[in-house]
Chain A
Amino acid sequence: MPTYSNTNTAAYKNVWVFCEQREGKLMPTDFELISEGRKLADELGVKLCGLLLGHNVEGIAKELGGYGADEVLVADDPLLEVYTTDGYTKVICDTVEDLKPEVLLFGATNIGRDLGPRCAARLHTGLCADCTHLDVDMPLYMDFLKANSTLPENRLDLIAKHTVKVLGEDHDTTRDLKMTRPAFGGHLMASIICPRFRPAMATVRPGVLAKAPFDQAKADAVKVTPVKFQLAESDIHENVKEVVKAAKKLVDLVGADYIVSVGRGISKDVDTGIKLAQELADVLGGVVGGSRVAIDSGWLSADHQVGQTGKTVHPKIYVALGISGSIQHKAGMSDSECIIAVNKNPDAPIFEVADYGITGDLFKVTPLLTEAIKAEKANK
């Protein structure tokens, strides 16, 4: 029977955030994670540390302090300049075993989702994928559940008792990280804990958690600590031949304030449908997105996809043109500030989440809406 060294949960302390950099630049999601990590560290009464791997990256470490990190642990090595699964996994796992954090967060980017599971498997601990909400504090978690679930009172009361059965024994959930994520295409939400092993690990969906305001004084004050580690070329079994940036600038759906998305409704004239959506997006000052159908049919490239398998967005205005509103799509856009839906079918599920619905042909309605908004903006 194997024995594990990470079952003594009390020996683990502090919240760590893996801060991904590409070509020496921090990823936007790092700041969201540091901001969230600050909240969790305060709830636990511990330190928040950023974990930064790369080469000549010390200069960007301080910025993480501006969003709330107490300390940034920097592993600097030419072998870490470009991401490799083997190199990053070894340095992270060795550092975790050495310094014992109780929580370790990753951004759920393609690299975070490559690295997180590999590290969790090596460290023998639990990892919750693509989380959209994190809590430690039980009253805060209960507030979240009351506002975001349909759980009945008696179920909520049980959870609030801080005790659950784990393998038949009572377990106190007070210090556990409650990691909430959508499953089954957004039909279900689940809160996961990692009760018996440390660190508790999560990858967190980019664009979902709020970024704290940047504080220069905190950035100046942050402690930057080099990490001691051993890494040799022979530890890395992947040979990265090249790193290519997409020639075409990818659309930034997550950061957009205005999104006009198209779905199956444009199928009878795809080019015109996209053109009309683009014109409306231009007037609003936003970008064009699409449902899964629009991406799978090849009408728009994958970076335009909104929904459970695409991006989660929360713009000021989200316009859904000819999108029926599958639960997968709604999972990615229902938190938008204002949702406008145009659909021929008055019973389309998209109208269930829309703030304003228009029953009609998008090819006729969209140009009228574009004109009306243009006129309204000119009046200002």
Chain B
Amino acid sequence: MKILVCVKQVPDTSGVVAVNPDGTLDRASMETIINPDDLNAVEAALQLKDETGCKVVVVTMGPPPAEGMLRELEAMGADEAYLISDRVFGGSDTYATSQIIAAALHKIGIEDDDVVMCGRQAIDGDTAQVGPQIAEKLHLPQVTYVGDIHKEGNKITCKRMLEDGYMTIEVETPCLLTCIKELNEPRYMSVGRIMDSYSMPLTVLDNEALKDEPLIDPTTIGLKGSPTNILTSFTPPQKGAGTMLEGNGAETCQKLAGILAEKHII
């Protein structure tokens, strides 16, 4: 039994975000982090490892520097790492990305008692699409927005969180789960493993390694394999500055309440 966790390295959108004059993101100037929801997926996998002794394999698609993130995840407790990386994979939308990651997971091998885990969504695109699309490409049952996981034999019982409650769902392995931040509190890297992580298994899967996978074809990867195209991207204009009121005492508040009443919004 093993858990395959799909993770993504993302620009830290809570820090300084730089936008080029043409409306694209200046990624080079931004800090990168492990996508927050993906850390919850890794933690969920490591908790299953603590319980059952199963293997945890982390998989990412991205440029070569994403290796650093994979080493950090190995230092957290992952046993193996795969970096899916090739120039021809660039420009992929969620569809083409799922196709490539699904091909890589197939290549790594998904056994009957395996589980694939993803974070709910990545903070750069916020699409939440790649998880379900990988599940579809691999014909796995999926549960998204997972807030609780119990595994017994080949049965997984989990909660799919909804806006107004939750559903308790039982699925059989192999299956794919997408994890939300309420699921757990991710652990830190262990000091002992930080040095060891650099001698732990890390395999790069490029197009050459994946080209014989049935899901991989020049028309299914990169820009060509992406059904969506960006028509334009742009930055929203700043709203004009409002009125800063003088003072902060009772008089100021009365004045403000008066304006609101005058405008008939209270």
The residues of A that contact B142 with a CB separation of less than 8 Å are 85, 114, 118
Bound CA span A120–B132, Å: 10
The residues of A that contact B228 with a CB separation of less than 8 Å are 126-128, 192-194
**Contact across chains for B23 and A188 when beta carbons are under 8 A apart:** yes
**Contact across chains for B133 and A150 when beta carbons are under 8 A apart:** no
**Which of A36-44, A67-75, A214-222, A232-240 lines the interface with chain B?**
A232-240
**Contact across chains for A187 and B19 when beta carbons are under 8 A apart:** yes
Is B145 at the interface (CB under 8 A from chain A)?
A: yes
Q: How many residues of B contact A (CB 8 A)?
A: 87
**Contact across chains for B235 and A117 when beta carbons are under 8 A apart:** no
- Please report which residues of chain A, range 317-331, place their CB below 8 angstroms from some CB of chain B when the two chains form the complex: 317, 326-328
Contact (A189, B233) CB under 8 Å given A85-B142, A237-B171, A354-B242: yes
**Contact across chains for A121 and B136 when beta carbons are under 8 A apart:** yes
Contact (A129, B128) CB under 8 Å given A149-B237, A187-B19, A196-B227: yes
The residues of A that contact B239 with a CB separation of less than 8 Å are 334, 352-353
**Contact across chains for B236 and A191 when beta carbons are under 8 A apart:** no
**Which of B42-50, B74-82, B103-111, B161-169 lines the interface with chain A?**
B161-169
Bound CA span A128–B129, Å: 9
Interface 0/1 of A343-364, CB less than 8 Å to B = 0001000011111111111001
**Which of B1-9, B57-65, B195-203, B251-259 lines the interface with chain A?**
B251-259
**Which of A10-18, A53-61, A270-278, A371-379 lines the interface with chain B?**
A371-379
Bound CA span A157–B11, Å: 31
CB-contact partner of B129 in A117, A183, A184, under 8 A: A117
CB-contact partner of B229 in A85, A192, A351, under 8 A: A192
- Where chain B touches its partner, the secondary structure class is mixed
Contact (A148, B260) CB under 8 Å given A164-B229, A183-B126, A239-B170: no
B95 to chain A, nearest CB (A): 7
Is B266 at the interface (CB under 8 A from chain A)?
A: yes
- Please report which residues of chain B, range 238-255, place their CB below 8 angstroms from some CB of chain A when the two chains form the complex: 238-239, 241-245, 248-250, 252-254
The residues of A that contact B128 with a CB separation of less than 8 Å are 113, 117, 129-130
**Contact across chains for A376 and B14 when beta carbons are under 8 A apart:** no
Is B125 at the interface (CB under 8 A from chain A)?
A: yes
The residues of B that contact A359 with a CB separation of less than 8 Å are 244, 248
CB-contact partner of B95 in A121, A188, A338, A356, under 8 A: A121
CB-contact partner of A184 in B25, B160, B167, under 8 A: B25
Bound CA span A111–B161, Å: 10
**Contact across chains for B223 and A167 when beta carbons are under 8 A apart:** yes
CB-contact partner of A376 in B141, B218, B237, B257, under 8 A: B257
A114 to chain B, nearest CB (A): 4
**Contact across chains for B167 and A130 when beta carbons are under 8 A apart:** no
B254 to chain A, nearest CB (A): 4
**Contact across chains for A184 and B17 when beta carbons are under 8 A apart:** yes
The residues of A that contact B167 with a CB separation of less than 8 Å are 82-83, 240, 242-244
> Chain B: which residue is nearest A355 at the CB level?
B242
The residues of A that contact B169 with a CB separation of less than 8 Å are 238-241
Bound CA span A100–B42, Å: 40
Is B261 at the interface (CB under 8 A from chain A)?
A: yes
**Contact across chains for A192 and B234 when beta carbons are under 8 A apart:** no
Bound CA span A148–B235, Å: 8
**Contact across chains for A327 and B242 when beta carbons are under 8 A apart:** no
**Contact across chains for B254 and A375 when beta carbons are under 8 A apart:** yes
- Where chain A touches its partner, the secondary structure class is mixed
B30 to chain A, nearest CB (A): 9
**Contact across chains for A195 and B237 when beta carbons are under 8 A apart:** no
Interface 0/1 of B205-230, CB less than 8 Å to A = 00000000000011110011011111
**Contact across chains for A124 and B168 when beta carbons are under 8 A apart:** no
Bound CA span A376–B132, Å: 52
> Chain A: which residue is nearest B255 at the CB level?
A372
B16 to chain A, nearest CB (A): 10
> Chain A: which residue is nearest B139 at the CB level?
A237
The residues of A that contact B92 with a CB separation of less than 8 Å are none
Residues of B at the A interface (CB closer than 8 Å) are 11, 13-14, 17, 19, 23-25, 93-95, 98, 123-133, 135-137, 141-145, 157, 160-172, 175, 182, 217-220, 223-224, 226-239, 241-245, 248-250, 252-254, 256-261, 263, 265-266
20 of the cross-chain contacts (CB-CB < 8 Å) are: A116-B129, A120-B95, A121-B136, A126-B95, A127-B129, A128-B228, A149-B235, A173-B231, A185-B126, A188-B233, A192-B230, A193-B229, A240-B167, A244-B165, A246-B166, A327-B13, A337-B265, A365-B253, A368-B252, A376-B254
